[in-house]
């Protein structure tokens, strides 16, 4: 079975500081990995995804994530936080052996201080 | 391109009442998903449709939850009777075809409060 663990339910950074949101996964098959962002009262929006190939994946709004198989991790980073980045971020793994079923982590709320 | 539409956006009901949610996926998307997102948790898949057939409903509490996608386009999710623990946001998502892509597009959700 697949599972996702996001360390830190709340992360607070200053504007302009590095953003690092942690995600570790467990998968019985080579994983497809995703990061989604959720703004208040909105649905989830895809930030980036890893399927195969290059392990450093670039997404929208300056975010990127690196797939590290040896560490079973897919941490999300952004060099410089903006106020508009304040939202909740979800890491997910999909299992192509189970109809591409998604398993989400419990989310990390990012607060950006001025 | 219009996104995934859901209604209502908010619903408050008393326990033991029934409620229904509606979802209209992106035009042309064959796969439709319903998720339950309880406060403080990530979304959990309830049911997955491919056109008008069910692909996976293993996590749907079938004693009280039902869902249909009769014409393979829009879908309804029903809860009858509701319990306090059903308070959550119900998200609908769609994808072009789960056999070809794992990219899902999410609607804004319906926030259900059961009192």
Instruction: With CB atoms and an 8 Å threshold, state whether A43 touches B4.
Output: yes
The span from the CA of B68 to the CA of A7, in Å, is 36
Q: Which residue of A has its CA nearest to B59?
A: A101
Which has the closest alpha carbon to B71: B114, B105, B30? B30
Asked if A84 contacts A105 with a C-beta cutoff of 8 angstroms, the reply is no
A99 interaction partners in chain B (CB closer than 8 Å): 48, 55-56, 98
Per-residue model confidence as pLDDT tens digits over B10-60? 999 999 999 999 999 999 999 999 999 999 899 999 999 999 999 999 999
Q: Is residue A52 scored above 90 in pLDDT? A: no
**Rounded distance, CA B62 to CA B53, Å?**
16
pLDDT of residue B1: 66
pLDDT value at position A58? 96
Residue B100 and residue A54: Cα distance in Å, rounded? 20
Contact B102 A43 (CB under 8 A): no
For A61-71, the pLDDT digits (tens) are 999 999 999 99
The pLDDT of B73-85, averaged and rounded, is 97
Which tokens in the block code for residue A73?
């991790």
% of chain B exceeding 70 in pLDDT: 99
**Predicted confidence (pLDDT) at residue A85 exceeds the cutoff of 80:** yes
User: pLDDT at position A20, please?
Assistant: 98
pLDDT exceeds 70 at position B74: yes
Q: Is the pLDDT reported for residue A79 higher than 70?
A: yes
A42 in contact with B, Cβ within 8 Å: yes
Distance, in Å, from the CA atom of B3 to the CA atom of A12, rounded to the nearest integer, reads 31
Query: Alpha-carbon distance B71 to B38, whole Å?
Result: 29
Residue B36: closest C-alpha in chain A? A104
In the prediction, which pLDDT does B82 show?
97
Mean pLDDT, chain B, whole residue set: 94
> What distance in Å separates residue B28's CA from the closest CA in chain A?
19
**What pLDDT, on a 0 to 100 scale, did the predictor assign at position A42?**
85
Mean pLDDT, residues A51-77:
94
């Amino acid at each position: 079975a697949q599972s996702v663990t996001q360390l830190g339910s709340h992360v607070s950074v200053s504007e302009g500081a590095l953003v690092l949101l942690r995600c570790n996964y467990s998968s019985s098959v080579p994983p497809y990995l995703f990061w989604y962002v959720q703004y208040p009262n909105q649905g989830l929006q895809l930030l980036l995804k890893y399927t195969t190939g290059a392990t450093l994946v670039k997404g929208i709004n300056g975010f990127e994530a690196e797939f590290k198989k040896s560490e079973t991790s897919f941490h999300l980073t952004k060099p410089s936080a903006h106020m508009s980045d304040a939202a909740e971020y979800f890491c997910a793994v999909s299992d192509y052996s189970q109809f591409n079923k998604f398993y989400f982590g419990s989310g990390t709320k990012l607060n950006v201080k001025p | 391109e219009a996104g995934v539409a859901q209604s209502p956006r908010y619903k408050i009901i008393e326990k033991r009442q029934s409620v229904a949610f509606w979802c209209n996926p992106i035009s042309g998307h064959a796969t439709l998903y319903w998720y339950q997102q309880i406060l403080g948790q990530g979304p959990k898949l309830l049911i997955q449709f491919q056109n008008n057939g069910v692909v996976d409903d293993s996590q749907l509490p079938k004693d009280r939850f039902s869902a249909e996608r009769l014409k393979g386009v829009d879908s309804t999710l029903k809860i009858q009777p509701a319990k306090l623990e059903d308070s959550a946001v119900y998200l609908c998502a769609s994808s072009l075809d789960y056999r070809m892509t794992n990219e899902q597009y999410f609607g804004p959700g319906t926030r259900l409060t059961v009192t």
